[in-house]
Chains A and B, each alone.
Chain A
Amino acid sequence: MTAHGSGGLLAVVSYWEPWWIQIIKSLLVFGVGLSMVPVILILERKGLGRFQNRYGPNRVGVFGIMQPLADILKLLRKEQFRPATSVGLLFALAPVISILTAVATFAIIPFGDVHNLFGTNVGLYGIDVSIGPLYAFAFGAIAFYGIMLGGWASGSKYSFLGAMRGAAQLISYEVALGLSLIGVVFQAGTLSLTGIVHAQQHYGLWFFLPQIVGFLIFMVSGFAETNRAPFDLVEADAELVGGYNTEYGGGRFASYYFAEYLNVFVISGLATTMFLGGWLLPFGIHPPAFIDPIVVLVKMFVFVIVFIWVRATLPRLRYDQLMRFGWKVLLPLATVNALVTAILVVET
């Protein structure tokens, strides 16, 4: 630790950012990040269509690219309906929690290194916290409050069942998700996400190769964390009518939907940073600074496409299969992976 700090929440940075840079940064990061959600929406709907020999939406705008906008506008114009059995305050609060945590996690994803812009040093990320993955897990855990409170406060049996499944799924897969990243953290020797990318630069190899087991576990638990197929038991349209968001409509449903897709983007961003070298390019290519965020976005969209591909392929797991897979396969594998990495790191 240097004179700058003694291991507080923020990572130790050797430069100073003026307040106006921080405002521009947050506007830019969230502007780009949030505008990616409709892109993912249309990508998913068109992609799922192609996976099923059909076109997907192609009526609104050129090739149907305005479809998400039309959907959102339709939802926002709807009545804010609330069941008589619901708990008012929590019912309204739950989608806000969901969207808030998703946005908060998005802040730590680095889109580039520290560069000299406008005469000052600017890090191309929201914030660089010294506890990167822990920060992400903390907000990931709070995100489930959005689902659980939403399900419980709806006062409907389907919502409640979905919320209970959500709680069980969180406990089962958050552990494996955390342990799968421990190997990366051991190898990088830091918890800061930019630090992890720098470590991959020094190591000369992106961590998805030496940490292939951790990478696979992270991807599988990532599907569970974002409630995506084949782990979408929380929503399970067929059995639960839509799970925790059964009773939601209009703007509140739009917030849930938005948060879900932002979570997919955030998990893709974490995977990019942790395992795919963040803004680095292979073969020692060093592009100019403005390329960095594009590289990160392209890598993130590769993961998003994998998410869509898996959703188009795999059927939903049964509840007992989900539990057995989480506790009896992923957790031991992740533990062994962390132990082996620890031994190898100490040996070398």
Chain B
Amino acid sequence: MTAWDPGEDVIAVQRGPQPGGAGGLYRAFGETLRGMKTTLGRIAEGTTTFQYPEEKVPVYPRFRGRHKLHRFEDTGLEKCVGCSLCAAACPADCIRVVAAENTPEHRISAGERYATVYEINMTRCIFCGYCEVACPFDAITMGHDYELSDYTRSDLIFTKEMLLAEPLERTPLRTESE
């Protein structure tokens, strides 16, 4: 039985200077100077931070931010048919759907029924994306917005109109090179 050879996976370990005697003191002093050189090099490197409110970190295309509800682009009808599958899939129980029948003179969605009430409580949402997976008509997707703070909890219950509307400020999307 031979010992397992880690091969290329082995990581070089940097140890502190060998202690003991005048040699140890000399080595420790040398290591101190090396440390000082390392930190000084960080100044030359410059800063790598984002100045957040002015400068936003671009998100990945699959980032799960605030939800969006969608309409058909040609007819303008809502995709949501009020089936409540999203509410059933939601582990945080934050979606409330009340469905109503479409009538020929009052047609909201493409299906038989539509959602009269569609609310997502953003204080409870865990942004897991299960609603998006559960939806049979791709009516709800996760958007890219992550700035969801507000002063009152009731303001964070997003209604259907808010979810259908385009967000006021677009979150920058990460390009392929980033």
Contacts and interface: CB of A to CB of B under 8 A. Distances in A.
Given A314-B32, A329-B25, A55 B39 contact: no
A177 B36 CA distance: 23
B149 interface: no
Q: In terms of DSSP, what is the predominant structure of the interface of chain B?
A: helix
A5 B115 CA distance: 99
Contact of A310 (B36, B43, B45, B49): B36
A312 B42 CA distance: 11
Contacts of B39: 51, 309, 312-313
Contacts of A14: none
A321 to B, nearest CB: 10
A contact patch SS: helix
A116 interface: no
Contact of B42 (A53, A55, A310): A53
Size class of the A contact interface (CB-based, 8 Å): 10 to 19
Contacts of A310: 36
A54 interface: yes
Contact of A53 (B32, B45, B51): B45
Nearest to B45: A53
A50 interface: yes
Nearest to B44: A50
Contacts of A52: 42
A55 B50 CA distance: 10
B38 interface: yes
B76 interface: no
A225 B51 CA distance: 37
Contacts of A313: 32, 35-36, 38-39
A55 B47 contact: yes
Contacts of B43: 50-51
B11 interface: no
A58 B50 CA distance: 12
B51 A55 contact: yes
Contact of A309 (B40, B45, B48, B51): B40
A50 B45 CA distance: 9
A54 B49 contact: yes
Contacts of A55: 47, 49, 51
B46 interface: yes
A324 to B, nearest CB: 10
A53 B43 CA distance: 7
B42 A50 contact: yes
A53 B48 contact: yes
A55 B47 CA distance: 6
Contacts of A314: 32, 35
A179 B88 CA distance: 78
B120 to A, nearest CB: 34
Interface in B90-109: none
Interface of B: 25, 32, 35-36, 38-40, 42-43, 45-49, 51
Interface of A: 49-55, 58, 309-310, 312-314, 329
